[in-house]
Chains A and B, each alone.
Chain A
Amino acid sequence: MPEPAIEIRNVAKRYDAHVAVRDLSLVIPRGSVYGLLGPNGAGKTTTIRMILDIIAPDSGTISVLGSMHRDRTIQDRVGYLPEERGLYKKMQVRRVLKFLGELKGLSGREADSRITIWLERLGLRTPEKDWGLAKVDELSRGMQQKVQFIGALLHDPDLVILDEPFSGLDPVNAQALKDTVVDLKRRGKTVIFSTHIMENAERLCDSVCIIAKGEKVLDGAVSEVRAAHGERTIALALDGDVSPAVKAILADESLVSEADDSNRFYELVLAPGADANVLLRRLVEAGAPIQRFERVQPSLHSIFLEKVGATGVEAGMSGHG
């Protein structure tokens, strides 16, 4: 097995008032797209900051790309897009990017030519308008996010860490971001991103880790995670109005232990000992307009809800994610 991109062993970090990360161990395989999932305040951003050596763990060890993370040179091979985005407002876009590149050890000339390529690739430099020559605060929010994204990738890092990359992106830019992530993977890079949007994680990630309250809840390849929870999940789609009788069946705790209700689409978890056939028969008898009734692997979303639940979300803890 090749050396992992990141290996976190028994890491803990506490702030004055609370524990941000509690004895976390993770192995992130090289060349994979890895999702760090968890509710706000779970310790995602703290974990990422420790990987990047922005803050030091109280205990435990972290190795990045085979070196201890405190080794500064290893950070040159890491690209980072923080959750809290911002750039020097009064600075010219090209100069900001060049500065960020130089901080990662790029020469000025090398940075210049790469900036031109990236600006063109993301549509910030067209024959009509070169936004690279504008000041940062003349750009729209979406364009500023693109600039920051370029800043994270300019030095062609082997490991890319994106903290909540989809927040604030419109569908077009979100798609561009997904394309870039896929492209990075194709080129053998490792991509880690944190998110609380499970749909994105499910589609993009090879492996995930769910953390809550600073602790790992589960981790592994997405397919394995889903298969491990796939015995008792049923996807149910109904056409038209749902009658009170049908609702009563879905609320019957001897049959259904959990029901994720999306109005006309349900993800159901069978109660222990319950039979799927019994459930189907009763639904038909009640006259439910069934479009789909299928035994499925659960979505990450429902696994997340099952494992973390509403209690996993600490109120008012956002910002230290």
Chain B
Amino acid sequence: MARLWAVIKREYLERVRTKWFIFSTLFTPILFGALTLLPIWLASKSMDSENIAHIQILDASGSGLGKRINLALGGGVMSNDTSSTQIILLDTAQLAAAELAATDAVVKKETRGYLVLGPNILDATETRYAGRNASSLPDIGRIEAAVRQGILATRLERAGMDAERVTSLVNTRRIELEAEQIGDRGREGKGGIVKYIFAFSLAFLLYMSIFIYGQNVLRGVLEEKQTRVAEVVVSSVSTDTLLAGKVLGVGAVGITQQILWVVGSLLIMKIREPVMNALHLTSTSLSLPSIAPSVLALLLLFFVLGFMLYSALFAAIGAMVNSDQEAQQAQQPVTLLLVSTAILIQPVLLNPGTKLATIASIFPFSAPILMPLRLSLVSVPWTQVAASLASMVVAIAAAIWLASRIYRTGLLMYGKRPSLRELSRWLRRS
């Protein structure tokens, strides 16, 4: 036991001390924080409130539509000052010349763009906007909405409604559509985009962690083989102890990193508001879906089992090969299992209830990634969760049986990579 502990301690401490570990552990939450802040900050920079409001409206409609639209634009996203928009009332004959002048103004950067309201605009189905932000979908969307609202208001006014009432009725605020998932057991709480992003990030994180730390085990085994230190070590501890210590030590590094990531990300979410205020940014508050501790424990369990399954296989590969190049080749079957699981993430994310999703989340090699994905999207019958865990436990037992035998023989074998026939002989002999 003391020996196993010594092996675990070495694997753990030597990895935690590396620059790579420190960097990736610190950097990931910072990246995460930046990812939640940056789009808003960039948006606020590029879509300065005057962007959509700092335009000319060439109004040849003769109905005061320009004024209505300006009102709907409201001076931009985060402003109430409607004076930045210039409304030029003109008749049809002047339109061509005015467009030329307006183009000139945009070129000289006096305005961002101009909107043309023709004489038949109230009955037409299309109109024109030209400007520097013509390729910005959100900008065009807002202008379109303002035009639609302006036309509606003007039509209502024409139909005899009181101008004041029209203004107050048309000027509605944006509506948030809250979507809620309904599953076999009824309502299951908030759905929507945040949940999808969370589920996807979770699956991706599991995939990356299992991949990175599984390969870490492979490299650790290969290093001991290449430096020939393995021989000294196995003269003191059994290969089984060494293998177990390696898998547990590396796994503990993975769990440490994930805990630090979660804590770091939570801290960054906490300081997000003050930072945003300091940068004079406003945004809707971002709320993570709340996770019950029991679910969190379940997620951790899936990581641990998935890691054990794959790291046992990676360790066996490491014991079979002699160089990095050989390792690249030999690990392909294992890598393929992981990558095909990653390919299934999207279909399962979009339709977590299909038969394919159910089977893939029980199949031991894709279960550690796809079952947590389904769990965070919909409620999964407990029988399926149990089946998934059971299949993984069986697969892990088989993988460890296989790996320990290959490891025992391969660790001190140098030279040619074993063929499949030699491998099967290794398995039978030990």
Contact = CB atoms under 8 A, between A and B. Distances in A.
Nearest to B237: A103
Nearest to B229: A86
Interface of A: 16, 49, 52-55, 72, 75-76, 78, 80, 82, 84-91, 95, 99-100, 102-105, 148, 151-152, 319
Nearest first, the 3 closest Cβ-Cβ pairs linking A and B are: A86-B227, A86-B228, A103-B236
B236 A87 contact: no
A102 B235 contact: no
A88 B227 contact: yes
Given A16-B425, A55-B412, A88 B236 contact: no
B223 A99 contact: no
A37 B179 CA distance: 81
Interface string B407-420: 00000101100000
Contacts of B7: 103
B237 to A, nearest CB: 6
Quick one: which of A76, A82, A85, A87 has the most chain B CB within 10 A?
Answer: A82
Contacts of B235: 52-54, 75, 78, 80, 82
B238 A99 contact: no
Which DSSP category, helix, strand, loop or mixed, fits chain B's interface?
helix
Contact of A82 (B2, B3, B228, B238): B228
Which DSSP category, helix, strand, loop or mixed, fits chain A's interface?
loop
B232 interface: yes
B412 A54 contact: yes
Contacts of A152: 232
A206 B412 CA distance: 31
A103 B233 contact: yes
A89 B219 CA distance: 13
Given A88-B14, A90-B14, A319-B414, A102 B231 contact: no
B132 interface: no
Given A82-B231, A90-B14, A103 B412 contact: no
Contact of B236 (A16, A75, A89): A75
Contacts of A89: 223, 227
Interface of B: 2-3, 6-7, 9-10, 13-14, 223-224, 226-229, 231-238, 412, 414-415, 422, 425
B6 A99 contact: yes
B238 to A, nearest CB: 7
Contacts of A84: 228, 231, 414
Given A54-B412, A72-B238, A99-B6, A88 B223 contact: yes
A141 to B, nearest CB: 13
21 contacts: A16-B422, A16-B425, A49-B412, A53-B235, A54-B412, A55-B412, A82-B228, A84-B228, A84-B414, A85-B228, A86-B227, A88-B224, A89-B223, A95-B13, A99-B10, A100-B236, A102-B2, A102-B9, A103-B233, A103-B236, A103-B237
A18 to B, nearest CB: 14
A49 B414 CA distance: 15
Contacts of A148: 232
Quick one: which of B6, B9, B235 has the most chain A CB within 10 A?
Answer: B235
Nearest to B5: A102
Given A16-B422, A103-B233, A319 B228 contact: no
A319 B228 CA distance: 12
Contacts of B414: 84, 319
Nearest to B225: A86
Contacts of B2: 102, 105
Quick one: which of A49, A99, A105 has the most chain B CB within 10 A?
Answer: A99
A162 to B, nearest CB: 12
A88 B219 CA distance: 12
Given A86-B227, A90-B14, A319-B414, A100 B422 contact: no
A85 B235 CA distance: 13
A103 B3 contact: yes
B227 A82 contact: no
A52 B233 CA distance: 11
Nearest to B408: A55
Contacts of A99: 6, 10
Contacts of B228: 82, 84-86
A224 to B, nearest CB: 31
Nearest to B242: A103
B331 to A, nearest CB: 22
B229 to A, nearest CB: 5
Nearest to A87: B229
Given A99-B6, A319-B414, A151 B232 contact: yes
Contacts of B425: 16
A321 to B, nearest CB: 13
Nearest to B10: A99
B414 to A, nearest CB: 7
Contacts of A55: 412
Nearest to A84: B228
Quick one: which of A53, A100, A148, A151 has the most chain B CB within 10 A?
Answer: A100
A75 B235 CA distance: 7
A91 B231 contact: no
A86 B238 CA distance: 19
Contact of B231 (A54, A76, A90, A103): A54
Nearest to B425: A16
Quick one: which of B224, B229, B236 has the most chain A CB within 10 A?
Answer: B236
A80 B234 CA distance: 11
